[in-house]
């Protein structure tokens, strides 16, 4: 039987978007534990970017859990050739599998933004969910925790965030 409170497991996209919107604390609104896998955090903070320091500060200030993964542990040291594609997603998949095998199983809510993840055959344990940034913001709006999901998105775009374009088949 799954534990009651799901863990909000964050991919890079939602963190970047909410950092641009100065709205990272919205991730805390449901009251669920929030976690970032070490590989995603590394991807977000290894080089200076418009959001890297903001994300470092937020994680430290809010004492966000950084989850260790084998993906990151086996990541090559600086200067060595490295595979870049999908490492954060592999680390999240590893963590979700561990959550499913825990006793009792832990429910994970995987928050993503990349349109490739929406279409990908990302294996989700039965008790876990895959939720887009937009759907999460609408969830917060429906509960009355924010006035407008669209306003948060607009704030991120005005600050320079370019959303991943979702293309629907003809």
Residue 136 contacts residue 150 (beta carbons within 8 Å): no
Q: What is the mean pLDDT of residues 109-124?
A: 68
136 domain-assigned = yes
Quote the pLDDT of residue 5.
Answer: 83
Q: Which residues contact 43 (CB under 8 A, 6 or more apart)?
A: 12, 87, 88
- Pick 121 or 57 by higher pLDDT: 57
- Spatial strand order of the sheet with 129-132 comes to 65-67, 34-37, 7-10, 108-112, 129-132
Q: Number of folded domains in the chain?
A: 1
165 domain-assigned = no
Range(s) of the domain holding residue 83: 7-158
Q: What is the mean pLDDT of residues 64-82?
A: 83
- The residue among 107, 109, 18, 88 whose CA lies nearest residue 46 is 88
Q: What is the mean pLDDT of the chain?
A: 86
**Residue 58: Cβ within 10 Å count:** 17
The CATH number for 41's domain is 3.40.50
Token pair recorded at residue 13: 């996209």
pLDDT exceeds 50 at position 169: no
58 domain-assigned = yes
pLDDT tens for each residue of 6-46: 999 999 999 999 999 999 999 999 999 999 999 999 999 99
Residue 75 contacts residue 42 (beta carbons within 8 Å): yes
pLDDT exceeds 80 at position 2: no
Q: Scan for tokens 């805390």, then name that residue.
A: 28
- The residue among 120, 152, 121, 154 whose CA lies nearest residue 139 is 152
167 domain-assigned = no
For residue 103, what pLDDT band results from cuts at 50, 70 and 90? confident
């Amino acid at each position: 039987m799954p534990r009651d409170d799901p863990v909000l497991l964050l991919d890079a996209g939602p963190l970047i978007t909410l950092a641009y919107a100065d709205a990272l604390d919205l991730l805390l609104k449901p009251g669920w534990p929030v976690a970032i896998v070490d590989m995603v955090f590394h991807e977000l903070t290894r080089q200076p970017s418009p959001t890297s320091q903001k994300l470092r500060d937020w994680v430290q200030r809010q004492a966000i859990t950084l989850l260790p993964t084998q993906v990151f542990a086996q990541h090559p040291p600086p200067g060595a050739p490295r595979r870049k594609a999908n490492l954060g997603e592999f680390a999240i998949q590893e963590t979700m599998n561990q959550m499913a095998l825990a006793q009792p199983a832990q429910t994970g809510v995987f928050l993503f933004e990349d349109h490739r993840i929406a279409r990908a055959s990302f294996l989700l344990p039965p008790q876990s969910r895959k939720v887009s940034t937009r759907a999460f913001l609408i969830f917060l709006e429906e509960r009355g925790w924010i006035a407008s999901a669209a306003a948060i998105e607009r704030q991120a775009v005005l600050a320079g965030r370019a959303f991943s374009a979702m293309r629907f088949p003809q």
